[in-house]
């Protein structure tokens, strides 16, 4: 039976590669985007459904989930690659900036998980993977602290999850290291040549490599890894 996955942040570079990887392996994919769907539209795959939402509008998103509860709860796997990022200096960050980041990069995930766990439990199979960032290990960048805080929340595993592990539901976080994406260009203060030299393997990951790790953790091959923060950052 064909498996179904919901991917948030599917229009990002890693998200797009992940969508392609799951489609290639015959999964049915529901992909979320906020502004840019040009690349996703080019895939022209019958197994791909798209939906648009600004996840900072969390109350509206909850209403959307409640209204479409039946369609948005029947998934075998859920991956969140949300990457809302507002560049701002530390001393200029407002409470509203933090709230927007947390709504988009964490609370949206929690609302979906609340919807899908019941069906996964019924099916005795499920995979949930939330993306964190290597920036959480070092206190975030000088201009991206709010982003790093919101991603760090995805490394928290509520005790309520424990009852689901015995139903073959694997819930993990993936701490993604420096990857060859356009996201780095948002922070103009970054010197990527110097940044890569800080990585023990002396190289950044490709989006395809990250997608491969995501697929493994969401597949039948992952029969043992759960409740873990998995670091794929070249040794950082």
Predicted pLDDT of residue 147: 94
**Number of folded domains that form the chain:** 1
How confident is residue 183, by pLDDT bands cut at 50, 70 and 90? low
pTM score of the predicted model: 0.92
Rounded to an integer, what distance in angstroms lies between the CA atom of residue 217 and that of residue 49? 22
- Lowest-confidence segment of 1-10, 22-31, 113-122, 190-199 by average pLDDT: 190-199
For the cut 70, the answer to whether the pLDDT of residue 100 exceeds it is yes
Helix, strand and coil in the chain, % to nearest 5: 45, 20, 40
Predicted pLDDT of residue 107: 98
Q: Print the domain residue range for 164.
A: 4-232
Q: What is the pLDDT of residues 14-36, one digit of tens each?
A: 999 999 999 999 999 999 999 88
Share of the chain above pLDDT 90, in %: 74
Predicted pLDDT of residue 126: 98
The CATH number of residue 179's host domain is 3.40.50.720
Predicted pLDDT of residue 106: 98
Which secondary structure element, helix H or strand E, spans residue 60, and what is its range?
Answer: helix 58-67
Predicted pLDDT of residue 190: 66
For the cut 60, the answer to whether the pLDDT of residue 212 exceeds it is yes
Task: Encode burial over 186-223: b for 16+ CB neighbours within 10 A, e otherwise.
Answer: eeeebeeeeeeeebeeeebbebeebbbbbbebbbeeee
Predicted pLDDT of residue 199: 74
Under a CB-based contact definition with an 8 Å cutoff, are residues 206 and 149 in contact? no
Predicted pLDDT of residue 180: 78
Q: 157 or 177, which is more confident?
A: 157
Q: 70 or 123, which is more confident?
A: 123
How confident is residue 104, by pLDDT bands cut at 50, 70 and 90? very high
Q: How many residues are listed for the chain in this entry? A: 236
For the cut 70, the answer to whether the pLDDT of residue 202 exceeds it is yes
Range list of β-strands (E), the chain: 4-8, 28-33, 48-52, 77-80, 126-133, 169-176, 229-232
Predicted pLDDT of residue 186: 56
How confident is residue 196, by pLDDT bands cut at 50, 70 and 90? confident
Rounded to an integer, what distance in angstroms lies between the CA atom of residue 1 and that of residue 28? 11
Residue (of 40, 39, 38) closest to 30 by Cα position? 40
Q: What is the pLDDT of residues 48-92, one digit of tens each?
A: 999 999 999 999 999 999 999 888 889 999 999 999 999 999 999
For the cut 60, the answer to whether the pLDDT of residue 184 exceeds it is no
For the cut 70, the answer to whether the pLDDT of residue 153 exceeds it is yes
């Amino acid at each position: 039976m064909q498996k179904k996955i919901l991917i948030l942040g599917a229009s990002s570079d890693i998200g797009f590669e992940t969508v392609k990887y799951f489609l290639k392996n015959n999964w049915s994919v529901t992909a979320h985007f906020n502004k840019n769907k040009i690349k996703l539209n080019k895939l022209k795959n019958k197994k791909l459904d798209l939906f648009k939402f600004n996840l900072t509008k969390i109350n509206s998103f909850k209403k959307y989930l409640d209204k479409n509860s039946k369609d948005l709860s029947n998934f075998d796997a859920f991956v969140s690659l949300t990457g809302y990022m507002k560049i701002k200096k530390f001393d200029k960050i407002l409470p509203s900036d933090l709230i927007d980041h947390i709504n988009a990069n964490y609370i949206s995930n929690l609302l979906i998980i609340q919807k899908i766990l019941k069906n996964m439990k019924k099916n005795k199979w499920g995979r949930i993977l939330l993306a964190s960032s290597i920036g959480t290990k070092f206190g975030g960048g000088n201009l991206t602290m709010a982003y790093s805080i919101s991603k760090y929340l995805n490394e928290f595993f509520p005790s309520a999850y424990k009852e689901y592990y015995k139903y073959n539901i694997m819930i993990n976080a993936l701490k993604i290291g420096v990857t060859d994406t356009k996201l780095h260009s948002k922070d103009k203060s970054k010197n990527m040549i110097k940044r890569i030299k800080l990585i023990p393997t002396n190289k950044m990951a490709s989006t395809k490599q990250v997608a491969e790790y995501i697929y493994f953790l969401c597949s039948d091959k992952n029969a043992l890894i759960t409740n873990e923060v998995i670091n794929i950052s070249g040794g950082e």
